[in-house]
């Protein structure tokens, strides 16, 4: 047996007392809206996520260009996120990975080619989809379902309502349009 690896045993240890020593993987969850303080207890809300491993947090965001939307940031530093309304909520342990920093960089490099900024889609290809995929590649785990439940539920809506969801949630940057009928 190779000694000193992340899952090694010290001399004299037996399997009953073996504790896996890997590199912890954390899912950092951020509230994207103030209303989450009321809706999260029912298992739904608008959340941003990033995956923390080896002291860096990796996430995915959208933009209108053909290069990657994957980025690294200081873990739990909501001020580094573009949307100033985003607030750190909690970290969830996703287990451990045996990948070194170099191994993680290789995984991230491959994902950068797949998660292009212009392909970001709030319902089908968002930061939570990225985080779930990244955790799966690091150690086979999946993020909790409640984190992306709003996007999942929204896929059941007729297309016309789905187009309205970003405005209703205040995620489009524009105020919802309302028309006033002067004869009403």
Q: What pLDDT, in 10s, does the model give residues 19-51?
A: 567 999 999 999 988 888 888 888 888 899 999
Q: Compute CA distances 29 → 2, 77, 177, whole Å.
A: 36, 11, 30
Predicted TM-score (pTM) of this structure = 0.76
Catalytic pick from 54, 63, 124, 127? 127
The one catalytic residue among 48, 54, 63, 124: 48
Residue 30, Cβ density class (10 Å: 0-12 exposed, 13-18 middle, ≥19 buried):
buried
How distant is the alpha carbon of residue 1 from its chain centre? Answer: 36
127 classed as catalytic: yes
- Helix, strand, or coil here: 138? helix
Please tell me the total number of residues recorded for the chain in this structure.
184
Q: Is 48 a catalytic residue?
A: yes
- pLDDT band of residue 11 (cuts 50, 70, 90) is very low
Q: Per-residue pLDDT for 4 more than 90? A: no
pLDDT in tens, 47-100: 999 999 999 999 999 999 999 999 999 999 988 876 667 899 999 999 999 999
Closest CA to 46 of 34, 32, 35, 60: 32
């Amino acid at each position: 047996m190779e000694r000193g690896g992340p899952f090694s045993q010290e001399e004299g240890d037996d399997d009953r007392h073996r504790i896996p020593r890997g590199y912890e993987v954390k899912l950092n969850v951020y509230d994207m809206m103030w209303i989450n303080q009321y809706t999260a207890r029912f298992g739904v809300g608008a959340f941003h996520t990033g995956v923390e491993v080896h002291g860096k947090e990796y996430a995915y965001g959208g933009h209108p260009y053909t290069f990657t939307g994957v980025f690294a940031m200081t873990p739990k530093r909501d001020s580094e996120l573009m949307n100033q309304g985003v607030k750190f909520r909690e970290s969830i342990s996703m287990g451990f990975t045996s990948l070194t920093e170099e191994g993680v960089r290789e995984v991230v490099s491959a994902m950068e080619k797949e998660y292009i900024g212009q392909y970001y889609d709030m319902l089908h290809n968002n930061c939570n989809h990225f985080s779930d995929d990244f955790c799966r590649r690091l150690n086979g785990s999946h993020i909790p379902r409640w984190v992306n439940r709003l996007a999942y539920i929204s896929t059941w809506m007729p297309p016309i309502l789905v187009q309205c969801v970003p405005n209703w949630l205040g995620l489009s940057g524009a105020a919802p349009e309302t028309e006033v009928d002067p004869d009403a």
